Amino acid sequence: MTGPAALCRHCGTPLEGGSGAEEGFCCAGCAAAHHLISAQGLDLYYRRRSLDPAAPPPRPEAEDTCAILSDHVVPLPGGEASLSLMVEGVQCGACVWLIESLLTRQPGVTWARVNLTTRRLALRFRPEGADPDTILAPVRAVGYRLVPFDPERLESEDHRRERALLRAMAVTGFAAGNVMLLSVSVWAGHAQGMGPATRGLLHWVSALVALPAVVYGLRPFAASALAALRAGRTNMDVPITIGVVLTSAMSLWETIHNGPHAYFDSAVSLLFFLLIGRYLEARARGRARNAVEHLLALDARAVLVIDPDGSRRMVPPRRVAVGQTVLVAAGERVGIDGLVTEGCSDVESGLLTGESVPVAAGPGSPLYAGTINLTAPLRLRVSAVGEETLLAGIVRMMELAEQGRARYVALAERVARWYAPVVHLTALSTFVGWSLLAGMAWQPALLIAVSVLIVTCPCALALAVPVVQVVASGRLMRRGVLVKSATALERLAEIDHVVFDKTGTLTAGRPLLCQDGGWNADDLADAAALAVRSTHPLARALAAAAPQVRPAEAVVEHPGLGLSSPDGVRLGSRAFVGVADSDEGAGPDLWLARPGRSPVCFSFADSPRSDAADTIAALGRLGLSVELLSGDRPAIAAGLARVVGITDWRGGSGPAAKVERLTALAAAGRRVLMVGDGLNDAPALAAAHVSISPANGADISRAAADLVFQGARLAPLVEAIGVARMARSLTRQNFALALGYNLLAVPLAIGGVVTPLIAAIAMSASSLLVIVNALRLTGGRR
C-alpha cells in the first residue's frame, strides 16, 4: 500500500512517505475523514464518486475559514431556521449524496439539499437543538469548504429576469403551438373550400389564444425598445416590437372584418423563437456569473480582531474600524491595510505587486489587504479600511479604466442602428407608393405596408447573435473558460496583440528549485530535512524537490530569516547563515550552512506554466504579437521572457504604468488582450480591449476580466481566441443569411403578394437556418 504509486484512500493524492502512509492516508485529516464516512456506513461514496483530476481533491484543511455562521441563519416560521452555504469541492452526484446523508443524520437537521449546478447547500434545522457549526462539522471534516452567503443578495435582478423569460417562453410556446394548429386548418381550408364563417371562427379562437400571449411575451422586448427610444437610440428590439404589435393589430382588424389574412401564428411563433434565444443567452451568462460569484464568495474571509480586553472575535473585513488590532495567522491572507505592531514574518505580496519573492515584515512595516502572511502570526494596527485601502484605490483606477470600454458597440447594435430606419422607411414608401402613385384605397395600402414590416421583422437577425453566443460560451464553459461579458467574444475575435502579466499568469505563481549545479544530492537532503518544517514558499519548493527525506527534529523557525536545528545546521537568507553580502542573485535563493562546511546556495525561479511556451507559440501562429508586462524586477521578467519565447518585455511596471502602456497601445490602434491575475493587473484588465484572468487570481481581477479560465494550463486561452473567431465568422454568416432572406421577401411584400402562409414559412425557415448554422460551433464536445 505504501509504494510510490499508492494514493491516499480519502483524497486520492499520491502518498509520499511520512506518518500515516502505512494505513493508506496522506495525513491525519484524511484518515479521520475516512473513518467518519465508514462509521456512518457511507462507504458507497468512495465507490460511486468520480473525481475530476483537474480539480483539487476533497482534502480536510487544518484550519478553515471562520466566517460567522450565526449572522446568516434566517429564522423561519414554525421554529426552524435556514442557512444557505456555498460548498467548495462538490464535483459529482456522490458528493451531493454524501453531504446530504451526513447532514440529515445530524440531530436537529430537518432538511438538507445540495444544488449541484450552483454548488450551494440549503439547510434547515431546529436552532434550539444544535448550533450550525456543530451540524456542519462532519462535512468540513470530510474536506468540503463551506461559506455562508445571503440568498437575497445573490437572488439578483438577472436571475429574476431569466425566470421571467422562461415563463414568457413557456406561454408563447403554448400559444404558438395551438395557433399554428388552427392556422394549418385555415391554410388547408383554402384548398378545400372552407367557408368564411368557419375561417372566422378559427381566426377568433387564434386571436383569443395569441393576443394574451403576445401581450405577455412582448414585455421584455417592449421595455428594451422603449428604453432605447427614450435615450434617442434605436436597437433591434424597436423593429421587433413595432413588427409584432402591427402584426397583431392588423390580424385583429382582419378578424373583426372577417378578412382572409390573419398573421397570429407568425406573431406568436416569432416571439417564441426570439424568447428562446433570449432565454438561452441569459442562462449562459447567468451560469458564468454564478461560477464567478461562487469563486468570489469563497475568497471572502473574516478578520480576527483582538479587542483591548484581549478577547478575540471574527469580523467581516468591512466592519473593522481604524485603530483596532488584528491578528493575522501564518498562511492567512491579510484582509485590511495596517502597520505591524508585533511579530516578524515573511509576506508574499505577489497579487498586489507582481513580485514573486516574499519580503520580510517586522514591527512598523505596512501591510496591504490582499497580501499573504507566510511564516509567523502578526499583530497589525488597522490603518485603513473600506474605501481608504490601497485595494480600493486600485478599484477606483479600474472603474476609471472601464469607462472607456463601455463605449464599445456590439455588432448587432451597429446593424440595428441602420436596419430599423431602413425598414420603416421602406414600409412608409410602400404605403405612399400604393396609395398615392397607384391610387389604391388607404386600407389595402396600409395592409401591404404592414406586411412589409411583418416580413422584415428581424427574427433571424435578432437570433443571429444570441444563438452563436450561447453555443460558443457553452463550448468554452466545457473547456473551463467562463464568458462573463456579452460582447467579450466579439471583442476577443478582434484582438491583434496579447499582453501577459508574469507572476501567476505566465508562471504558476510559486517558486521552483533551479537545477544549476551549485549543490549536490547530499546538500539537498540536508536542506530539505529542515525545509519540510516550514510553510515558506521557498522552503516548500525545496522540500518538494526531495520528497523522500526524513524531517529533522526540533527545528526552530526564525521568521523573516530562516530555520535552524540544534545540531547547528542553518537554512535561510544570506545574512542568516553569515555569508558576506556579495552580488545579488537573479532570483530568490536560500543558503544552507553546516558546521565545518562552506555554505551552499539554492536558487529558485518561478516556473512558467507547463504549456506557457507552447501557448505563446500558438498565439504567434494565430498572427498575434505577444508582450510581457510585469511588476517584478526587470532581470526576472527578462529571464522568463527568454524561457517562454517572448521578445517584447517590460519589468517593474506598477498598476498605473500598466494602464499607461495599454492606453498607449490602444492609442496606436492596437486591440489588446490583457491576461493577468493580480490586484495590480485589475486596472489594466479593465483598460484592455478584452481581458482574461485565471480562476485562482485575485477576486478583483476576476471581477474586472471579461473571461475567466480555470485550470493550471494556458491552452484554454488559445481555444477561447479560436472559438471567438469562429463565432465571429458564424455571426457574420448569420447576418448574411438573414439579410439575404429579407432581400428575397421584401420585394414580394412590396408587391402585395405575401400571404400569412408565405410569411410563416419564410420566417420559420430563416430562423431555423440561422440556428442550425450556429450549431456548427458545438464541435469539440468532450
Partner 1 sequence: METLLMLIPVALILGGLGLAGFLWSLRSGQFDDMDGAAQRILFDDDDDAPPPPGHRQE
In terms of CB distance, is 48 or 414 closer to partner 1?
A: 48
Nearest approach, Cβ of residue 120 and partner 1 (Å) = 5
Binding of partner 1 by 40 (CB under 8 A): no
Binding of partner 1 by 357 (CB under 8 A): no
Nearest approach, Cβ of residue 290 and partner 1 (Å) = 11
Of 6, 68, 69, 122, the residue at the interface with partner 1 (CB under 8 A) is 122
In terms of CB distance, is 110 or 663 closer to partner 1?
A: 110
In terms of CB distance, is 50 or 515 closer to partner 1?
A: 50
In terms of CB distance, is 161 or 417 closer to partner 1?
A: 161
Nearest approach, Cβ of residue 205 and partner 1 (Å) = 6
Helix (H) or strand (E) holding 45: helix 44-48
Q: Please tell me the distance from the alpha carbon of residue 340 to that of residue 338, in angstroms, as a whole number.
A: 7
Q: Angle at which helices 196-230 and 157-192 pack, to 10 degrees?
A: 150
Nearest approach, Cβ of residue 101 and partner 1 (Å) = 7
Nearest Cα residue to 761 out of 46, 406, 357, 266: 266
Tell me the window of 106-114, 454-462, 501-509, 615-623 that interacts with partner 1 (CB under 8 A): 106-114
Of 17, 56, 93, 362, the residue at the interface with partner 1 (CB under 8 A) is 93
Q: Which residue has the cell 484582438?
A: 495
Q: Please tell me the distance from the alpha carbon of residue 576 to that of residue 590, in angstroms, as a whole number.
A: 10
Binding of partner 1 by 442 (CB under 8 A): no
Structural contact between residues 33 and 138, judged by C-beta atoms closer than 8 angstroms: no
In terms of CB distance, is 173 or 504 closer to partner 1?
A: 173
Binding of partner 1 by 156 (CB under 8 A): no
Of 39, 74, 116, 753, the residue at the interface with partner 1 (CB under 8 A) is 116
Residue 507 has φ and ψ, to the nearest 5°, of -105, 170
Please name every residue paired with 347 in a beta bridge, in sequence order, or none if there are none: 359, 373
Please name every residue paired with 693 in a beta bridge, in sequence order, or none if there are none: 708
Nearest approach, Cβ of residue 571 and partner 1 (Å) = 48
Binding of partner 1 by 84 (CB under 8 A): yes
Binding of partner 1 by 198 (CB under 8 A): yes
In terms of CB distance, is 97 or 187 closer to partner 1?
A: 97
Identify whether 133 is a catalytic site residue. Answer: no
Binding of partner 1 by 113 (CB under 8 A): yes
In terms of CB distance, is 155 or 522 closer to partner 1?
A: 155
First CA to last CA distance, the chain: 33
Binding of partner 1 by 278 (CB under 8 A): no
Binding of partner 1 by 598 (CB under 8 A): no
Binding of partner 1 by 174 (CB under 8 A): yes
Write out the three cell numbers for 659: 494602464
Of 20, 24, 127, 151, the residue at the interface with partner 1 (CB under 8 A) is 151
Helix (H) or strand (E) holding 650: strand 648-650
Structural contact between residues 557 and 533, judged by C-beta atoms closer than 8 angstroms: yes
In terms of CB distance, is 171 or 225 closer to partner 1?
A: 171
Please calculate the CA angle 355-359-363 and round it to the nearest 5 degrees.
Answer: 140
Binding of partner 1 by 92 (CB under 8 A): yes
Nearest approach, Cβ of residue 177 and partner 1 (Å) = 7
Structural contact between residues 141 and 131, judged by C-beta atoms closer than 8 angstroms: no
Q: Kindly tell me the number of DSSP H helices and DSSP E strands found in the chain.
A: 25, 27
The single-letter code of the amino acid at 584 is E
Q: Please tell me the distance from the alpha carbon of residue 393 to that of residue 395, in angstroms, as a whole number.
A: 5
Please name every residue paired with 84 in a beta bridge, in sequence order, or none if there are none: 122
Q: Are strands 707-709 and 562-564 parallel, antiparallel or unpaired?
A: unpaired
Assign 246 to helix, strand or coil.
helix
Binding of partner 1 by 69 (CB under 8 A): no
Binding of partner 1 by 117 (CB under 8 A): yes
Tell me the window of 100-108, 251-259, 311-319, 749-757 that interacts with partner 1 (CB under 8 A): 100-108
Q: Please tell me the distance from the alpha carbon of residue 91 to that of residue 97, in angstroms, as a whole number.
A: 11
Tell me the window of 65-73, 112-120, 573-581, 734-742 that interacts with partner 1 (CB under 8 A): 112-120
Binding of partner 1 by 209 (CB under 8 A): yes
The single-letter code of the amino acid at 613 is A
Assign 648 to helix, strand or coil.
strand
Of 46, 97, 216, 408, the residue at the interface with partner 1 (CB under 8 A) is 97
In terms of CB distance, is 284 or 539 closer to partner 1?
A: 284
Binding of partner 1 by 118 (CB under 8 A): yes
Tell me the window of 148-156, 330-338, 344-352, 590-598 that interacts with partner 1 (CB under 8 A): 148-156
Binding of partner 1 by 94 (CB under 8 A): yes
Structural contact between residues 717 and 615, judged by C-beta atoms closer than 8 angstroms: yes
Question: How many Cβ atoms from other residues are within 10 Å of residue 591's Cβ?
Answer: 20
Q: What is the 3-state secondary structure (H, E, C) of 545-610?
A: HCCCCCCCCCCEEECCCEEECCCCCEEECHHHHCCCCCCCCCCCEEEEECCCCCCEEEEEEEEECC
Tell me the window of 97-105, 368-376, 485-493, 744-752 that interacts with partner 1 (CB under 8 A): 97-105
Q: Please tell me the distance from the alpha carbon of residue 384 to that of residue 368, in angstroms, as a whole number.
A: 9
Tell me the window of 164-172, 329-337, 542-550, 688-696 that interacts with partner 1 (CB under 8 A): 164-172
Binding of partner 1 by 190 (CB under 8 A): no
Residue 306 has φ and ψ, to the nearest 5°, of -105, 115
Nearest approach, Cβ of residue 74 and partner 1 (Å) = 12
In terms of CB distance, is 173 or 697 closer to partner 1?
A: 173
In terms of CB distance, is 151 or 599 closer to partner 1?
A: 151
* Residue span 689-728 as binding mask against partner 1, x where in contact by CB under 8 A, dash where not: ----------------------------------------
Which DSSP string do the residues of 46-57 spell out, in sequence order?
HHH----TTSPP
Nearest approach, Cβ of residue 292 and partner 1 (Å) = 17
Q: What is the 3-state secondary structure (H, E, C) of 179-232?
A: HHHHHHHHHHHHHHCCCHHHHHHHHHHHHHHHHHHHHHHHHHHHHHHHHHHHCC
Tell me the window of 162-170, 352-360, 473-481, 588-596 that interacts with partner 1 (CB under 8 A): 162-170
In terms of CB distance, is 163 or 776 closer to partner 1?
A: 163
Ordered strands of the 372-373 beta sheet: 359-361, 345-348, 372-373
Assign 248 to helix, strand or coil.
helix
* Radius of gyration for the chain, computed over Cα atoms and rounded to the nearest angstrom: 32
Nearest Cα residue to 60 out of 173, 157, 139: 139
Of 6, 141, 154, 322, the residue at the interface with partner 1 (CB under 8 A) is 154
Q: Which residue has the cell 546538500?
A: 523
Tell me the window of 198-206, 331-339, 743-751, 768-776 that interacts with partner 1 (CB under 8 A): 198-206
Residue 528 has φ and ψ, to the nearest 5°, of -65, -35
User: Among the options 265, 337, 501, 681, which is catalytic?
Assistant: 501
In terms of CB distance, is 100 or 589 closer to partner 1?
A: 100
Distance of CA 70 to the CA centre of its chain: 29
Helix (H) or strand (E) holding 669: none
Tell me the window of 167-175, 462-470, 519-527, 600-608 that interacts with partner 1 (CB under 8 A): 167-175
Of 16, 28, 111, 656, the residue at the interface with partner 1 (CB under 8 A) is 111
Distance of CA 510 to the CA centre of its chain: 23
Binding of partner 1 by 751 (CB under 8 A): no
* Residue span 123-142 as binding mask against partner 1, x where in contact by CB under 8 A, dash where not: -x------------------
Q: Which residue has the cell 505587486?
A: 353
Residues classed as catalytic: 501
**Which parts of this chain interact with partner 1 (CB under 8 A)?**
44, 48, 84, 92-94, 96-97, 100-101, 104, 110-111, 113-118, 120, 122, 124, 151, 154-155, 163, 166-167, 170-171, 174, 177-178, 181-182, 198, 201, 205, 209
